[in-house]
Chains A and B, each alone.
Chain A
């Protein structure tokens, strides 16, 4: 076998005292060969980003490598001084990050940011730098590169910004590209394009790419070889096909099993039930800015949306960011005022209630939020968080706390949680608390807004199981808002696909996935990472 371009030998990185484990990265051995894409997969906190940062010399102050070597071209990168590393960075090793908006300087034009890479290494003249910037932008496939070069980051879309980041990384033709979750913040269709771009560029230039991700779908799309990390250790390495089709380690098997399958089951024929929620021609338009001299920016977030939800049914609203799916959810619970339309909940029009009557009516429609860290008051105990709702509706304090205890058991938490604060719980446990809180008022309808998007895939599977189980036992009507079609396929009976504020297609989940009628739905489904691989295995 040929020499690896980069090899990590027994790398061990210590965490400061008081962290949840002693080593962020614990005895990791990895080899990266020219012309291959190596994916490092792991859940959050597995140390995968820490390993990448160590290569670039970007470790936080209190975190230091205590053992091992990172060998690049016969020298150990860990021995290098900051000045020597500076020369290597960009020229030999380049990196792209997760969030392109925060990785780009918001006050600099794109071409200046690319030119800066050359300037830092004292290469080329200012004029040729600008010309080179446009060439690079053309290479990464930005539409109208000459115009994009003059643009500021905020004038570009998320996918275009990530392309700019890639152009900057490629500026000095590095041998090794490290990509840390580069598509996690992107929509699924954009993600597919960026993955293809990275793959094409890597083939064309024969680079070695180290691709860090938590998403096995992405791995299936792009990887040549895979390394699976758990708690700082590499538990399994192998070619992509070997790891995905025939995982050896129990942890890998567990991770792969937790990925929601794409095939939606044929919905059971259910008895006609009365609809609990009927929404008719709901509209919401945002107006921002606009003074004496400027026109206001008008965005039609929700355009004439109608839907019906029967008891015990789960309706998925899927769409990319900015499609208005969250606005629909927020209009339904009146966290946002709809401009037009009616929301009839068990015969009563929620959209036009006010004051005290709205407050009283809110008990029957509840919401589960996205971010398990922001959705619980950090200074309130779990018991109070759950019991507060019933107490506000006139339930006696003792009874409300008893109900909270029962609900904690129902969502699979220990009753002792009632006296503890949110920070003592993990993301998945917090999300269970959020579900218990939504159930505390015994609502007829629950709206889950990206309720599992912030969770790791194995935790996500547990929370989805819990939701499916609860909806069965309590006969809940659920509106499940998500950008993740795999998740939607697993839990929804019916799916509405949303695009630019409108429902472009609504139908049973099985039909949407197998016989999409709308062109947009088809692009969305084709862009799901790992889909081809999955179809191939299923046969």
Chain B
């Protein structure tokens, strides 16, 4: 484990990523304490520019709501959607990929054609359709994002399993009379963990972007303040009040960047043989 940290921290970008993400997580957790008021409440006159009042550092929006409070509560939504939808996508993608890779043949064909069916539809369009069919709330958004993001997981796991399948220790497990289920669960999957973790960290970033895009289009959960919604609402007044779209935009940028940096650091730390020169 200490070895892992040593390799991880050698990548300076990854450490910066961890710091940024830690700040975002802290803000999300502490939001109700730092900003006891609802983010929807009007607190001052509209279009108050940033730094003009100490109480409302980042100013107010078109309806006089505090931008900073909105950002803090938006962090909650972004992280929640990012993590839960990624977990859901992994729960679908890993079994499908593992079964396809392990059994091969007809099972592989059927499962991979099914996966390709999802891959051929543009993911954002499919997500919009899904959210529009169900009513836009946090559950349907999470479900829609999970539905469009599991195919890459299935493909990755299938590839890993295919290459592990011919390893001698898997053959030894077959010979020792273990059932296929036991072999997949205990011999194969633990060895596919590293690339899955790396992919998952990047999927959280993509999910946050997807959620922001959906909210920007007005397909967000109407009861939850989200960064995408804030940018969408500020779109019409972008020339008078730049800060309304700028700060949520920076928040999205930093969070997604942090997750990508972490993903790269994890890749270096977990796959030392694939890492760049001199490691």
Contacts and interface: CB of A to CB of B under 8 A. Distances in A.
A440 B172 CA distance: 12
A389 B176 contact: yes
Contacts of B169: 374-377, 385
Interface residues of A, number: 30
B187 interface: yes
Contact of B177 (A376, A437, A441): A441
A377 B164 CA distance: 10
A1 B252 CA distance: 77
Contact of B168 (A359, A360, A374): A374
Interface in A76-121: none
B168 A366 contact: no
Contacts of A385: 169
A380 interface: yes
Interface string A358-378: 011011011101110011111
B173 interface: yes
Interface string A373-400: 0111111100001001100110000000
Nearest to A374: B168
Nearest to A389: B176
Nearest to A361: B177
B137 interface: no
Contacts of A144: none
Given A61-B278, A359-B177, A389-B177, A437 B172 contact: yes
B176 A392 contact: yes
Interface residues of B, number: 19
Contact of A377 (B175, B187, B277): B187
A24 to B, nearest CB: 17
Contacts of A365: 175
Contacts of A370: 168
B187 A362 contact: no
A371 B177 contact: no
B134 to A, nearest CB: 40
A363 B174 CA distance: 10
A58 interface: no
Given A62-B278, A380-B186, A388-B173, A369 B168 contact: yes
Given A362-B177, A392-B179, A375 B277 contact: no
Contacts of A362: 174-177
B105 interface: no
Contact of B176 (A375, A378, A441): A441
A435 to B, nearest CB: 11
A359 B173 CA distance: 11
Contacts of B187: 377, 380
Given A61-B278, A375-B168, A377-B191, A366 B173 contact: no
Contact of A371 (B168, B173, B179): B168
Q: Is the interface of B mostly helix, strand, loop or mixed?
A: helix
Contacts of A379: 190-191
A393 B277 contact: no
Contacts of B277: 61
Contacts of B191: 377-379
Contacts of A434: 172
A359 B179 contact: yes
B135 interface: no
A366 B175 contact: yes
A333 interface: yes
Contacts of A380: 186-187, 190
Interface centre among B168, B174, B176 (most CB of A within 10 A): B176
A536 interface: no
Interface in B164-193: 167-169, 171-179, 182, 186-187, 190-191
A392 B182 CA distance: 9
Contacts of B278: 61-62
A335 interface: yes
A374 B191 CA distance: 12
B175 A333 contact: yes
A190 B57 CA distance: 80
Contacts of B171: 335, 367, 369
A362 B172 CA distance: 11
Interface in B231-260: none
B175 A440 contact: no
B195 to A, nearest CB: 14
Given A374-B167, A392-B179, A367 B172 contact: yes
Interface of B: 167-169, 171-179, 182, 186-187, 190-191, 277-278
Interface of A: 61-62, 333, 335, 359-360, 362-363, 365-367, 369-371, 374-380, 385, 388-389, 392-393, 434, 437, 440-441
18 contacts: A62-B278, A333-B175, A359-B179, A362-B176, A365-B175, A366-B176, A367-B171, A369-B172, A371-B168, A374-B169, A375-B168, A376-B169, A377-B191, A380-B187, A380-B190, A385-B169, A389-B176, A441-B176
Given A392-B182, A441-B177, 13 more contacts: A333-B175, A335-B171, A363-B176, A369-B172, A370-B168, A375-B167, A375-B172, A377-B191, A380-B187, A389-B176, A389-B177, A434-B172, A440-B176
Ranked nearest first, the 4 interchain pairs of A and B with the lowest CB-CB distance are A389-B176, A375-B168, A369-B168, A379-B190
